[in-house]
Structure 1
Amino acid sequence: MTLNEKIKTLRKKIGMTQEQLADKLGVTRQTVSKWENGMSVPDADILTNMADIFDVTVSELLGYDAEDVPVNDYPRILALLNEELAEKNRSRKTILKIVKIVLIVIGAGFAALISYILFWMIIAAGM
């Protein structure tokens, strides 16, 4: 289970809303939503507080067995997760740029077609 899924599952398990979790952690509800949707990850301090709220270890929250990860590795793991998210966002942005270009080309093609048809309708009407 990924970190975002783990956060959402544990939050729901204890019957807490995103707003309530956000209040306890001193962040906005939108921040909690971004964590749960895999758009960002909490920093190490918040992760520690979150683990306390959920009554699990940070290792468990990160998806490891309780003793698998030394505490000093948490920032490294979070940095890796952030890099994965950045790569995913770069890919998403590239796809959106391609879609935008295709839509512009299609729109220009339709505009040219309509102009062509109108031109010939005006020519035919004038004759």
Structure 2
Amino acid sequence: MRKNTRLVKARKEAGLTQEKLAELLECQKSTVSNWENGYSVPRLSDAFRIAEILNKDAKELFFEDLVQDTHTLKVTTA
């Protein structure tokens, strides 16, 4: 469980309370709270709707930590 600080920051920058965001999404305030506190994650369709409301990229809000950078290791033999 990891708090989604990017979602919290974006919501506050948009001047929205959890209650107002929940109203716009037609869900419960507790649902928004659970997303922000890392207890659950929104469905993909909700993630895109949230990003639209907050004028942010969904990847930036929800998927940044899920993308793993790839690295090439140089293997040397002795």
**TM-score normalised per structure 2:** 0.73
Q: Which runs of 5+ in 1 are unaligned?
A: 65-76, 78-127
**Aligned CA-pair RMSD:** 1.7
Distance, in Å, in 2 between the alignment partners of 1:3 and 1:48 is: 19
Q: Which runs of 5+ in 2 are unaligned?
A: 67-78
- Equivalent in the alignment of 1:97: none
More contact order relative to length (CA 8 Å, sep ≥ 6): 2
How far the C-alpha of 1:61 sits from its partner, in A, is 1.3
- Equivalent in the alignment of 1:8: 8
Q: Kindly provide the amino acid, as one letter, of the partner of residue 51 in structure 2.
A: A
> Which structure: larger Rg?
1
- Equivalent in the alignment of 2:39: 39
Could you list the structure 1 runs, at least 4 aligned residues long, displaced by more than 4 angstroms after superposition: none
Identity %: 38
Q: Deviations over 1:29-57 (max 9, x none)?
A: 01111111111110100000000011111
Aligned pairs, how many? 64
